[in-house]
């Protein structure tokens, strides 16, 4: 929860991903370390630390852009 990590359905573990909040332009780099999310309309689950940096904690969800770097 305190690290910049995320869960994704298909990206390989260890992949570095840049996640950008489309509402405010804030971005963070996270490492894929888990599988998920398991809700249909979601593409990535962020750790609390990453969500906080993107100002997504209060809403719980938000529109983001993801770009894999390796």
For the cut 70, the answer to whether the pLDDT of residue 3 exceeds it is yes
For the cut 80, the answer to whether the pLDDT of residue 17 exceeds it is yes
Listed in sequence order, the DSSP H helices in the chain are 48-53
What's this model's pTM, rounded to 2 decimal places?
0.92
Domains and CATH numbers, the chain: 5-68 (2.40.40.10)
- Summarised one tens digit per residue, pLDDT across range 21-66 is 999 999 999 999 999 999 989 999 999 999 999 999 988 899 999 9
Tell how far CA 8 is from the center of its chain: 8
Contact 4, 47 (CB under 8 A): yes
pLDDT at position 70 is 78
pLDDT at position 9 is 96
∠ Cα 50 44 57 (to 5°): 40
């Amino acid at each position: 929860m305190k690290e910049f990590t995320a869960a994704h359905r298909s990206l390989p573990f260890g992949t570095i991903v840049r996640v950008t909040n489309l509402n405010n332009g804030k971005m963070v780099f996270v490492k894929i370390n888990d599988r998920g999310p398991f809700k249909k309309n979601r593409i990535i689950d962020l750790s609390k630390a990453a969500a906080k940096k993107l100002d997504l904690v209060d809403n719980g969800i938000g529109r983001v852009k993801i770009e894999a770097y390796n």
